[in-house]
Amino acid sequence: MHGLNYFFYYLLNHFNIKEKFLGNISFNLTRSVICGSLSYYAYKNYLNVWNDKCLINTSLNNKFFHYHNNFLNYFIYDLFVMIYQVYKNINTHIRKDLLFHHLLAIFALHLIEENKMYHISLLIGLSEGMSFVSGIKLLCNKLELKKLNQYVIIYRLSYLIFVRMIFLWPSLIYFYILTIHQCENFKNNSSISLLLLFLGIILYNEFNWIKSGLKELKRI
């Protein structure tokens, strides 16, 4: 991730787009690559998750474990960069909603690790497809590409509503209930109330993101 940041920082400066190291545009372009990779791998292995809810396949379980670690490392690195940006006056403050989202994600992934339910991380990873266009959005703002920016915002809103809110979170609840009822190794891990609490907080933030996205569309 640090290497990607340096690459985008060098590339942007090469094309005379003024950018500080770990600045907003290069960092968000890196975020686009990482989130795109996380969501792509999750989509690719989506059926494997449902076909092995009890994680009997050791090879598959190891893959999910490595994915989980990469996912957790991404949030930790992302958090580090946000703090660094404020420290270096690249940004005047950290976005509170994003900070809370990252801390919640780190806490949730820690609970997943404790219970060794690594396939849950992969399902959550599907949600990161929304951030695939983060870097493109900032570039559009910088280069004043209003039409393209409009399409990017529509993509984010569509992904947020149709993939995350309508499809992903309900299916995650259903998958969790099936897993703790069908798998002997996970029957003692039941925390459905905690899962619903987490998803309730996420949905609250997502409704605010929808409002923000619609306002931005109107401004364009």
Residue-wise pLDDT for 38-97, tens only, equals: 999 999 999 999 999 999 999 999 999 999 999 999 999 999 999 999 999 999 999 888
pLDDT tens digits for range 103-127? 999 999 999 999 999 999 999 999 9
User: Residue 182 domain-assigned?
Assistant: yes
Is this prediction's pTM over 0.85? yes
Domain total of the chain:
1
CB 220 within 8 A of CB 149: yes
Distances in Å between the Cα of 200 and the Cα atoms of 48, 163, 170, 217 are: 27, 16, 11, 26
125 is a domain residue: yes
**Residues contacting 177, CB < 8 A, separation 6+:** 192
- On whether residue 29 sits in a domain, the answer given is no
Residue 171 in domain: yes
CB 121 within 8 A of CB 112: yes
Report the distance separating Cα 93 and Cα 19, nearest Å. Answer: 18
- Residue 133's domain comprises 34-219
Asked whether 127 and 164 are in contact (CB, 8 A), the reply is yes
